[in-house]
Amino acid sequence: MKISFEFFPPRTNQGKEKLTQVRQSLSVISPEYFSTTFGAGGTTQNATLKAVLDIQKNGNIPAAPHLSCIGSEKSNIVELLDKYKSANINRIIALRGDIPSDMHDIGDFHYANELVEFIQSEYNDYFHIQVAAYPEMHPQANNIASDLAHFVNKIKAGANGATTQYFYNADAYFRFRDDVQKLGVDIPITPGIMPIINYTQLLNFSNMCGAQIPKWILERLKLYETDLESLGDFGFDVVSNLCQTLKSQGVGSFHFYSMNRTEPSLKLAKSIV
């Protein structure tokens, strides 16, 4: 079973130290890689570079930087990728990114497929490129057919794999996997798994990224909003059942949105390895 964990770049020294410990704890199950998010439009880009180089230098789990292209020039992308290549980093999560409302200059890229094509043309298969997938449809897509076609374009442009937005409905993932297979896509589609640990935070994330929380889950989370122990137990049940269902249908890789915490991602990951 292939497992990966995602972090956001820490903003303080304390956050950095905590993340180092988190990484050490997660390393016990030998993850395939540790990825680090990247703020579209410049917000955390230097912090991402620092965090990624730190992972690559101070551990034995490979670092995989996220790279969003919106607002970037080709020259900035090359500058960053050259730094990653010099540090022996060979896996990139290539994204468009969310367009900040105050962004006036979109830059050289409009969509992620253009970034994938550019990386492949500049680096000739050096990087393993992972792209984003949306089993419940990307929130800005006009309809499911066009969203699937755009996803296929990213694979045709040279992506090697995909990681999904989180979801709590396994059928959405299976349908997506079937649909893209029918369109000729034959790459691993790794489910992105979001542990349930905080009601308000999950609600906010889900509103932002368009992931649906089924009503039967939402109602229970509401009930346990201030009882974190019950919420954690219930959340673990829901997400570990989801992982088991996915595993039973042939899923061989999982990506955990760790939120820079060891538990509950590690507990969930251990339940499927």
Does the protein bind ligand FAD through residue 91 (CB under 6 A)? no
Q: Which residue from 188, 194, 144 is spatially nearest to 165, judged by alpha carbons?
A: 194
- Closer residue to ligand FAD (CB): 150 or 220: 150
73 catalytic residue (yes or no): no
CB of 226 to ligand FAD, least distance (A): 30
Rule CB under 6 A: which of 51-70 touch ligand FAD? 66, 68
- Residue from 19, 40, 52, 80 touching ligand FAD (CB under 6 A): that is 40
Residue 262 amino acid letter: T
Does the protein bind ligand FAD through residue 34 (CB under 6 A)? no
> Of the residues 6, 32, 114, 117, which is catalytic?
6
Q: Which residue from 153, 50, 152, 41 is spatially nearest to 97, judged by alpha carbons?
A: 41
DSSP string, 222-252: HHTTT-HHHHHHHHHHHHHHHHHHHHHTT--
Cis geometry, peptide bond prior to residue 264 (ω within 30 degrees of 0):
yes
- Closer residue to ligand FAD (CB): 162 or 197: 162
Rule CB under 6 A: which of 142-171 touch ligand FAD? 146-147, 150, 154, 163, 165
> Distance (Å, rounded) from C-alpha 162 to C-alpha 139?
17
Tell me the H-state helices in 163-227: 170-182, 199-209, 215-223
Does the protein bind ligand FAD through residue 132 (CB under 6 A)? yes
Cα distances (angstroms) measured from residue 204 to each of 6, 165, 176, 236: 18, 15, 24, 19
Rule CB under 6 A: which of 166-225 touch ligand FAD? 192
User: Which residues are known to be catalytic?
Assistant: 6
Chain positions contacting ligand FAD, by CB under 6 A: 37-40, 66, 68, 93, 95-98, 111-113, 132, 138, 140-141, 146-147, 150, 154, 163, 165, 192
